[in-house]
Amino acid sequence: MHPCPAHTHALHSTVTETPVITTTGLTKVYRAHRARGHEITALDGVDLHVREGEVYGVIGQSGAGKSSLIRCVNLLERPTAGTVTVAGQDLTALAGRGPRAGRELRKARSNIGMIFQHFNLLSSRTVQDNVELPLEILGKSGKERSRKALELLDLVGLTDKAKAYPAQLSGGQKQRVGIARALAGDPKVLLSDEATSALDPETTRSILHLLRDLNRQLGLTVLLITHEMDVVKTVCDSAALMENGRIVESGTVTELLATPGSELAAALFPVSGDASADDRTVVDVTFQGDAATQPVISQLARTYNIDISILGAAMDTVAGKQVGRMRIELPGRYEENVVPIGFLRERGLQLDLVEAAADTAAADTAAADKAAQASVPAKEGAK
């Protein structure tokens, strides 16, 4: 193992079609202890399919059931119904009836790494001793433990902090220790429970890049839950949107973008802006795959000699591909623009017609929006 190279873009995605985490009909119902009959359904028949070597993000608001989901994957939480299979092993079958985890389940858990929002490092132990903890549980010898721990600290870039205590570290460093600790048992799967939610944006980015690097270098499958769209955008190959204990949308980021009316795609690539006058047509253009690399907008303007203004755009490079959405405005009503729209569709772009927003509130903010987006056309013009 080598320390993370600065540029990992050359490394290709390690996603295979082998399923690594599969849940079927996962249901979790919490019963309030005293009040009989008062039940809360945290998970309502969740089917999750995470392929080997991918970074899979589950996003949702608090209370959507994300936390219950990830805790059910290593059975920290016992599902009420449904099955969990990790790396071909049916964990729900290992769990047994009692509330305590049996030997089999504990062994299976040691093959699943987990990192936490609040790091959960033992304050009474040094960084190195924290990383050694899972190895102690696995019954490894002292020499082997310290060799492995130092190797992992090197991997996360914290060799010089081995003898420090967690209290002396910054949030980002603590999470790096958490990651090193989670990897000590050479897991195939890493569960990340809001691992970046307590960190500032800069640190979040560096932790996410570390996860991405580990995913690429070690072929590690990462299942992460988050409430931040940026996290999904930065590292995830696939994503799922959770609402009220159900997965309402899921798929690879490109698949989601290709799905008309996808909430997740809209949230990942938000565009806004309203028509500047009544006789205009506003269209959302979704770029994905090869189409994103062609200068289609300027081609359109030249071919039909029309003026196009860009109201808003959200473009990004996801998993090495350029994807995104753009809201453009064409002169004239929809009926007059059938030909240019056909031209764009022909180029492999997905188009959604935006109905004119009638509410006054939107009109009020339109001016501000336009000011904010003034710089966008110039930038995008280079395409």
Partner 1 sequence: MTWSEMQPLLEQACWDTLYMVGWSTLIAVVGGLPLGVLLVLTDRGGLLQNTVLNKVIGQVVNIARSMPFIILMVALMGFTRSITGTTIGREAAIVPLAIGAIPFFARLVETAVREVDGGLVEAVQSMGGNTWTVVRKVLVPESLPSLIASTTTTIVALIGYSAMAGTVGAGGLGDIAIRYGYQRFETELMWITVGILAVVISLIQFVGDYAARGLHRRGGRSGAAPRLRLLKSRAPANAGSQASAGPGSMDGSAEAPATDIGKVA
Nearest of 260, 269, 271, 267 to residue 329 by alpha carbon: 271
x/- track of binding to partner 1 for residues 69-98 (CB under 8 A): -----x-x----------------------
Using the minimum distance from each CB to partner 1, give the nearer residue, 108 or 349: 108
Structure tokens at 243: 């609402």
CB 29, min distance to partner 1, A: 17
3-state secondary structure of 118: coil
H-run or E-run covering 334: none
- The residue with tokens 């090495």 is 320
CB 20, min distance to partner 1, A: 17
Question: Do 256 and 238 form a contact (C-beta atoms < 8 A)?
Answer: no
- By the 10 Å C-beta count (0-12 exposed, 13-18 middle, 19+ buried), 359 is classed as exposed
Which of these ranges, 43-51, 113-121, 299-307, 358-366, lies near partner 1 under the rule CB under 8 A?
113-121
Instruction: List the interface residues with partner 1, window 116-175 (CB under 8 A).
Output: 116, 118, 120, 122-125, 133-134, 136-138, 165-168
Which of these ranges, 19-27, 112-120, 219-227, 269-277, lies near partner 1 under the rule CB under 8 A?
112-120
Which of these ranges, 106-114, 240-248, 278-286, 303-311, lies near partner 1 under the rule CB under 8 A?
106-114
- The rounded distance, in Å, linking the Cα atoms of 222 and 325 is 27
Structure tokens at 277: 């006058």
CB 195, min distance to partner 1, A: 12
DSSP 21-79: EEEEEEEEEEE-SSSTT-EEEEEEEEEEEEETT-EEEEEE-TTSSHHHHHHHHTTSS--
- The rounded distance, in Å, linking the Cα atoms of 370 and 299 is 24
CB 194, min distance to partner 1, A: 12
Question: Do 318 and 254 form a contact (C-beta atoms < 8 A)?
Answer: yes
CB 354, min distance to partner 1, A: 45
Question: Do 361 and 351 form a contact (C-beta atoms < 8 A)?
Answer: no
Binding partner 1 (rule: CB under 8 A), the pick from 109, 176, 212, 233 is 109
For 151, other C-beta atoms within 10 Å of its C-beta total: 15
Binding-site size for partner 1 (CB under 8 A) equals: 32
CB 215, min distance to partner 1, A: 19
Structure tokens at 76: 């920290």
Structure tokens at 91: 């964990």
CB 82, min distance to partner 1, A: 20
Binding partner 1 (rule: CB under 8 A), the pick from 3, 25, 93, 106 is 106
Instruction: List the interface residues with partner 1, window 170-229 (CB under 8 A).
Output: 181, 185, 191
Using the minimum distance from each CB to partner 1, give the nearer residue, 41 or 110: 110
- The rounded distance, in Å, linking the Cα atoms of 131 and 134 is 7
CB 127, min distance to partner 1, A: 12
Question: Do 188 and 50 form a contact (C-beta atoms < 8 A)?
Answer: no
Q: Is 343 in the site for partner 1 (CB under 8 A)?
A: no
| Interface residue list for partner 1 (CB under 8 A) | 33, 74, 76, 99-101, 106-110, 112, 114, 116, 118, 120, 122-125, 133-134, 136-138, 165-168, 181, 185, 191
